[in-house]
Amino acid sequence: MKVKPELHIKLHGFNNLTKSLSLNMYDICYTETKEEREAYIEYIDDQYSADRLTKILNTVSDIIGANIVNIAKQDYVPQGASVSLLVSEGPVIEVPTVSSESPGPLPESVVMQLDKSHITVHTYPEYHPNEGISTFRADIDVSTCGEISPLKALHYLIGSFETDIMTIDYRVRGFTRDVHGRKLFIDHDISSIQDYIPDDIIHLFDLIDVNIYQDNIYHTKCRLKDFDLNNYLFGYTKDKLTLKEQQEITKKIRAEMNEIFFPASIY
């Protein structure tokens, strides 16, 4: 993984740039019976409850050096959960000493609070009515103002969710000014979101980039390379299936992954 050097710029006043990182994480499972579907949804709701998601987002806040102002969380019926954190930039007491991301400078201290920075996650467990496919999607948004950068938490977020497919978006909006009054529309170097994904994770996925450099918009899609049917069966392994059953289930799961990855319905 290539890490860009930090870029220190003398600004006039406060850094008004808004940096937004959005992730869609997908987990796919084959659940043939109603009992399997219900067990899978129950597992997902337990694994990614509002309480656990809150712990994940608290860690994200620590990693990027933000202060938590307010927390709202909710488990939904029949399934799913949401957590929202309002955060502010504040005194950074301890910056993580081990970090593979360096998209911008972290200040030793600041004196202004922000009211437009937030970290949110929403989960969406669902299943196909006929094909035996269940999917779990988590939508994560980390939006910050000032110098703190959401890219510093990308590695941790990827490792916090079981994922077969990811779509990642990063955008820098607005502008700030240097001491001479010149507008700056970005305060760090970036050529691709892949620059901030560690090599050990990069090697696991097929990746596609769609970037609009002049507008500071970056998009990366990731799909797992290796396919092991055992990872997509819930409660049993493929040795319980005939070869024909294995082939049919594999076809359905791969079609689901392709539809999400591209995205387009395949008939």
Tell me the C-alpha distance between 101 and 169, whole Å. 16
Q: Assess whether 134 carries a catalytic annotation.
A: no
Q: How many residues does the chain have?
A: 267
Identity of the amino acid at 212? I
Catalytic member of 117, 134, 143, 160: 117
Annotated catalytic residue within 145, 149, 155, 188: 145
Question: For residue 198, is the peptide bond before it cis, meaning its omega torsion is within 30 degrees of 0?
Answer: no
Catalytic site residue from 100, 122, 192, 219: 122
Environment class of 241 (CB within 10 Å of its CB; exposed 0-12, middle 13-18, buried 19+): middle
Taken in order 21, 142, 173, 12, the sign of the CA dihedral is: negative
Look at residues 148, 145, 119 and name the one whose alpha carbon lies nearest to residue 55.
Answer: 119
CB 260 within 8 A of CB 31: no
122 is catalytic: yes
Respond yes or no: is residue 155 known to be catalytic: no
* Residues annotated as catalytic (active site), given as ranges: 117, 122, 145
